[in-house]
Structure 1
Amino acid sequence: MKSYKLFLIILGLFLVNCKTNQEPAPKFQHDIKMGPTPWTSESFELEEEDFTFAIISDLNGGERKGVYSTAVSQINRLDPTFVLSVGDLIDGGTEDSLQLAKEWDSFDARTSKLNMPFFYLGGNHDLTNPRMREFWKNRFGPRYYHFVYEDVLFLMMDSEDYTEKRMLEIYHARAEALKIINGDIEGDYEDSEYFNMPERRLGGMSEDQLLYFKNVLNQYPSVKWTFVLMHKPLWRREDDKGLGQLETVLSNRNYTVLNGHLHSFSHRIRNNMDYMILGTTGGSQKLGDSLAFDHITLVRMAQKPIITHLKMDGILNEAGKVPY
């Protein structure tokens, strides 16, 4: 009897071993034994570890109601790992703390409906004056920062990085220009001091921020890819307040630059890398501009980024309608 029980145990172990040594079922299976097949190939992409993230662009500079809330619903359906922004998240432009709290509460309430993490980045509407800068610090922490996810480095830059004196000069010049636009005072907007300030179009970066990101890049010399996000196109500014010095440090790695601010999409190759100005995700649009459209940018990060710009009016639910 003992010998028979021992035999059953050994047989069971043998069968289990045979089962575990079996080759896994092939990924692609069919029942056509011979002749032509109704598909082009049986060579499928090798499985690889990757992740996706989404980017939203300008809400403000004339926010159109309901667009951003729709984008949140659409992003949830796309289910990226996280969401990034390139600034202009509130209307701002005020020193009224109660008004700022109201605007940020509104934005945060809509953003809280995302099913994944969201990373803030400030634009000129979010960081218009020293009081708004302090409000940001108390609510969100640093204005520029970095993080690494799955060996991919993200540089989140502040393109409104001026001395307090210069920030106030820009703020007051902007207030004067708005009076011209609104007809409160006479004048030509294009002749105004604000219109001709390089910061209006291109932003600026401090020496401290430059040194911070130089140190970050030195800390992570061999990541798989680096993404550089900002609101205004610092890379278009050619003096020492622009991106040039940092581009020199970036030159020995793969990277992608994305910004917003202009409310019109464009792409170019610069330093053999992709530089993109995003359109809008609810901000104002210039009539007749075919590249002024609402979109969500979706990036699949495999060995290199696969970047897809999805127009919001084409992201539909199971009923074939734009989800709200």
Structure 2
Amino acid sequence: MAGFRRYAAAILAVIGLGLAAGPSLAAPPFKATLPAGPKPWTHERFDDAPQTFSFAVVSDLESGYRPGVFDVAVADLALLHPAFIMTVGDMIEGGSEDAALLNREWDAFDALAAKAPAPFFHVAGNHDMTNLTQRKVWEARYGARYYGFVYRDVLFMVLDTEDYPAARMQEIYHARADFLSLRKTDPAAAAKLPYASLQEARTGEIGPEQSAYFEKLIAAHPKVRWTIALMHKPVYARPGDKGLGRIEAALKGRPYTILNGHLHRYGYAQRNGADYIMLGTTGGERAFDGSQGAMDHIMWITMTDHGPDIANLKLEGVLDKTGHVPAGGEALCLDHGGPRCPTP
């Protein structure tokens, strides 16, 4: 406690010195000494409003993990300096009921994410939350499976699209395991298994308690300037009360954006006057045939007075000061056609 009091006193002393220094703290950020008359710049309305900030979103790196690709994304983020980093899930391979193995996978991922100079917000994908053991490991490490927070008057909502009743979750897990096992040897036969046509496999599920949580959260923040919801599966495509319907109804009349992953292919649509965007990959399995939406990328979102400006940065398009893809990215299979790319 004594150490804390000394620290607080030192901080107050610094603040006091700053106040005593007078107008220097209030000086405008831009200053130029030029004669009166024309200026060699267009205007002095700088795009640095206090409410403007940028954050990054990464997408699936599992379900066909390609070593080294996510390392490039982390190196890119270290150059870009977002306020924080989010994901749309599938951070580990998962698919196991071995808690020790799952914790090792999370340790490895978190060590990698920690190299980026910004907070990383976890969002669960189906690889991360496949069974009840994985749910317990998640809750022990990260707490809530779904949650919300406000940053600079923007409401962020993180959804869990693997929100099944316990018994149903285990049924899906075993059906998925059978499907994945057969797919290794006979993809055509695997496609005929029940899991391949399950609604849950395509769109996931939102349970009634989760819907109620977000209804209350939305109602508690009626005047935020924007709402951004992140999830793994496109649960908004699921009809009925296990989809996103209740949450979408609660969002009606306010500006919002929906982001998800899961299908490893970028897609854009508008629903209810809002942007619904499916991200591609940040290291997961993907096509290399030039087809629409197949790409490894970071989504870069800048919140402005008029809402989010969204840019997608392909990993091979972010170069360091030497003019190269960082973290050895030029040796990987990215869209520039690295030596590890499969032959089309």
Q: Distance in 2 between matches of 1:46 and 1:192?
A: 54
| TM-score, normalised by the number of residues in structure 2 | 0.82
* 2:314 pairs with 1:311: yes
Match of 1:81 in 2: 83
Match of 2:110 in 1: 108
- Map of 1:274-289 to 2, 5 A cutoff? 274-288=275-289, 289=291
The residue matched to 1:191 in structure 2 has which SS? coil
The Cα of 1:24 is off from its aligned counterpart by 7.0
- Map of 1:240-279 to 2, 5 A cutoff? 240-279=241-280
Q: Distance in 1 between matches of 2:268 and 2:177?
A: 32
- Asked if the contact 2:215–2:246 (Cα under 8 Å) also holds between the matched residues in 1, the reply is no
The residue matched to 2:74 in structure 1 has which SS? helix
Match of 2:174 in 1: 172
The Cα of 1:252 is off from its aligned counterpart by 1.6
- Over 3 Å counting, the alpha-carbon distance change for 1:108 and 1:46 in structure 2 is closer
Identity level (%):
43
Q: Distance in 2 between matches of 1:235 and 1:25?
A: 46
Q: Distance in 1 between matches of 2:255 and 2:58?
A: 22
Match of 2:324 in 1: 321
Unpaired segments of 5 or more residues in structure 2? Answer: 1-21, 328-344
Q: Output one character per residue of 1:244-266: Cα deviation in whole Å (capped at 9) or x when no partner.
A: 12111101211000001010001
Structure 2 counterpart of 1:292, from 291, 294, 297: 294
Tell me the C-alpha RMSD between the 2 structures: 2.2
Letter of the structure 2 residue corresponding to residue 268 of structure 1: A
The Cα of 1:42 is off from its aligned counterpart by 3.2
The residue matched to 1:194 in structure 2 has which SS? helix
- Map of 1:7-46 to 2, 5 A cutoff? 27=30, 41-42=42-43, 44-45=45-46
* 2:226 pairs with 1:229: no
Q: Distance in 2 between matches of 1:217 and 1:61?
A: 33
The Cα of 1:189 is off from its aligned counterpart by 2.1
Q: Distance in 1 between matches of 2:220 and 2:258?
A: 19
Based on CA coordinates, which of the two structures has the bigger radius of gyration?
1
- Structure 1 window deviating more from structure 2 (84-93 vs 106-115): it is 106-115
Q: Output one character per residue of 1:20-57: Cα deviation in whole Å (capped at 9) or x when no partner.
A: 7xx9789575868778x876x33644641211111110
Match of 1:4 in 2: none
Letter of the structure 2 residue corresponding to residue 204 of structure 1: E
- Over 3 Å counting, the alpha-carbon distance change for 1:186 and 1:27 in structure 2 is closer
- Asked if the contact 1:180–1:187 (Cα under 8 Å) also holds between the matched residues in 2, the reply is no
Q: Distance in 2 between matches of 1:182 and 1:71?
A: 29
Match of 2:220 in 1: 219
- Asked if the contact 2:125–2:233 (Cα under 8 Å) also holds between the matched residues in 1, the reply is yes
Structure 1 counterpart of 2:124, from 102, 107, 122: 122
| TM-score, normalised by the number of residues in structure 1 | 0.87
The residue matched to 2:197 in structure 1 has which SS? coil
- Asked if the contact 1:60–1:284 (Cα under 8 Å) also holds between the matched residues in 2, the reply is yes
Unpaired segments of 5 or more residues in structure 1? Answer: 1-18
The residue matched to 1:227 in structure 2 has which SS? strand
Q: Distance in 2 between matches of 1:25 and 1:207?
A: 51
Match of 1:181 in 2: 183
Q: Distance in 2 between matches of 1:147 and 1:179?
A: 39
Q: Output one character per residue of 1:40-80: Cα deviation in whole Å (capped at 9) or x when no partner.
A: x3364464121111111001001100111111111011001
Match of 1:5 in 2: none
Q: Which runs of 4+ in 1 moved over 3 A?
A: 23-35, 41-47
